[in-house]
Structure 1
Amino acid sequence: MSLMGSTNMSYLNPKTVILIGIPGLEHVQFWIGFPFFSVCLVALLGNIVLIIIIATERSLHQPMYILLAVLAATDLGLCVAIAPKMLAIFWFGSYSMAFDACLTQLFFIHALQGMESGILLAMAFDRYIAICDPLRHASILTPLFLVQMVLMVAIRTTVLVGILPILLKRLQIFQSVVIDHSYCEHMAVVKLAVEDAHINRSYGLFVAFAILGFDLIFVFISYILIFRAVSHLPQKEARLKAFNTCTSHIIIFLEFYILAFFSFFSHRFGHVSPYTHIFLSTIYLLVPPALNPIVYGVKTMEIRKRVAQICIMKHDSR
């Protein structure tokens, strides 16, 4: 630690950072922790059940459900990356965090966000082939092709996001080690730097548009083509059935991207209060993992039937 000037304190290569949680709401953070814990619990249980059902039910070994299982695994990862430290801050006042651990958490949070976006794009592609070219669906979306898609999404995200902590590590002088957030987030750390962080800001913007922006454009194009194909179906029942196969994905797609871009733009260009931004950005990361298995469980007959069978078996065993 060193002093620069007579009034401003700056930190040289800090070893630890301080996460304060939700600025402005510190006095009620203990109680805020309970609804967040409930959301995390729903997300963990829902996604674990979803993965188990898809893995054990042979009729669900189809591209859409395999991708859904990958999405569920990604959502589990997000909860594990965020919830333990956040709840430790809210309930036990565990504000301190090693700087390297902060960068690690930052990497996993943004990488898993990117994974989720990529899987949503893959799911949109699956729906496009299923509706617009159904006869070739099985020949195009083979198990090998699915593995390649998931690997491409993972590699793209790991490479692009992996550079973020490397660029942050090159920054040496910080005006503060106090992060006004409940988890380590790229821009929240960048804003602490005394040095010129123009490269960090520009690259962060590039990563956001290279992943979220790219995926959003192609998901949007996929659904334009899907809706056009559905509108040309001769029977109303066929149109409704085709559209119904997409509703779960559309709901999840909208909730993810609307909250993602609100969080992204409010952090850089918005003038919302800090506690509003951080509260909503935390909701953005934790609520979709809780809602995704519920949405698919309610809207997908095969999953609904399997859950009902499990419940009946447990009831009969008693």
Structure 2
Amino acid sequence: MGMLDYQPLVLVDTTDLPRDEWLAYRRKGIGGSDAAAVLGISPFMTARDLYYDKLGISAQSDEENWVAKEIGHLLEPLVAMIFEKRTGLKVYQRKVMFQHPQYPWMLADLDYLVEMPDGSRAILECKTTTSNSADNWWYAGKEIVPVYYESQGRHYMAVTNIDRVYFCCLLTDNREAIIRCMDRDMAYEEELIVLEESFWKENVLAQAPPPYTESGELIMRSLQRMLGPAATDVPPVVITPPQFSRVKQFLQLQEKKALYDAESKKVENEMKRLKAMIVADMGKSCTALYEDAEGSYTITYKPVYKQGISKEALEKLKVLYPQIYGEYVSTSESRRFHVKKLSANAA
């Protein structure tokens, strides 16, 4: 029984809904997977990316990460089966898009529902990742739900008035499964609703883009998606004094980093010298051993082999076999950012 007395509305049956129509319905509100971007904690997209998506000016490319998305979608039934076998609980689907009765912009498209032994229901979210990302499910040795998934689960609980969410995450490279359980937190939920409502009304409906607040790497990826390839024929932009404050701060940090880099270079050079002396002590052996009262040590200096093509060989290929070169060598674009003070203005 929910803490509150309401039932979710059904916005649309998604059983045979074409993808473009499903996307159009998603743009009528905020879904669970959107919550992390609204809160500024998504590792995948900024709040501004989400804003453009809701207005139909999508910054997300269907080509981007499409393999990972397809793997996740195709493996959902398998992840649900693993959950059933591991827990003994039964799961089922309701292929509808739910809508909060009080906050119509809150939508929920659930992977599965879970039949609990006491007759109540829970939600099951199916995830896939690799063992490289498994650490996100632990913190200081304790089991957790990654914050960006937590916001999704709490959004779903708010929409459906269900008090528990299970997460089952399959590590596709080693076939291990991580299962987590999360119960309702009304304080978190109330804050989430306030922030989502603000985003929906003050940004999406008002057509006012939210500011960038996320990490520099995430913002740059967002800008690259929105701006596309470099437009080298566009004239220079004259920025304003408030905008220039960022440039000044960047230059100050650049100077600070140069000092750190110089100190780091000294340390690195000393480490290289010591490494060379150790290798000299090892002679032709790839391994050295040492043991004292503090513990045992193993030092290795083993060969690593990899295949590649040198710059010189690439130039020969271009001259001798231009057709093969043209077919297999592609050009990618990257852009260098640089700030330089030209001269001091006369007083």
Q: TM-score, normalised by structure 1?
A: 0.27
Larger radius of gyration: 2
Q: Which has the higher contact order (CA 8 A, sep 6+)?
A: 1
Q: TM-score, normalised by structure 2?
A: 0.25
**Structure with more strand by fraction:** 2
**Structure with more helix by fraction:** 1
